[in-house]
Structure 1
């Protein structure tokens, strides 16, 4: 199932921000910045990616249920997706 543009837009925006943060981390490493600052930024990127993943799974579930495909929803597959993000 594909997400609608409305559901995918916030996820794409979050991933773009994370991409910018990653580029910043690379620059920090190249510039010899303090390790504590770098680790802080890496943690922020990790959280942004986690939130994007949860948003993707939640958006898919919401759209699937709203479209009446709820009977076809594989709860085991959904659980596996959520656990892969944990």
Structure 2
């Protein structure tokens, strides 16, 4: 079983994602209502940006708090670093 890690930024990231989820639900409703495609695309872009920003905040938090530099300043856990950066 893997260790559950919770950082101080996780509640804020979760709140961002909940807002994005609500926004996405609104976009789905816009489609059902037959709203203009340009309006839908604009709102989808906003949802995409919100999710991207939440992901970026999570990755930066992981780098700041989970990857500690060694004595020479290099990252000791290079596998973990590579694992997380593939999502950038």
Q: TM-score range by the shorter chain?
A: 0.7 to 0.9
Q: If the length of structure 1 is used for normalisation, what is the TM-score? A: 0.77
Taking only aligned residues, the RMSD between alpha carbons, in angstroms, comes to 2.0
Q: If the length of structure 2 is used for normalisation, what is the TM-score? A: 0.76
Bigger proportion of residues as helix = 1
Partner residue of 1:3 out of 6, 10, 33: 6
**2:56 maps to 1:38:** no
Runs ≥4 residues deviating over 4 A: none
1:84 aligned partner: 87
| Gaps in structure 2 of 5+ consecutive residues | 71-75
Larger-gyration structure (1/2): 2
Return the offset for 1:52. 0.7
Greater relative contact order (Cα < 8 A, sep 6+): 1
Q: For 2:57 and 2:18, how far apart are their aligned partners in 1?
A: 14
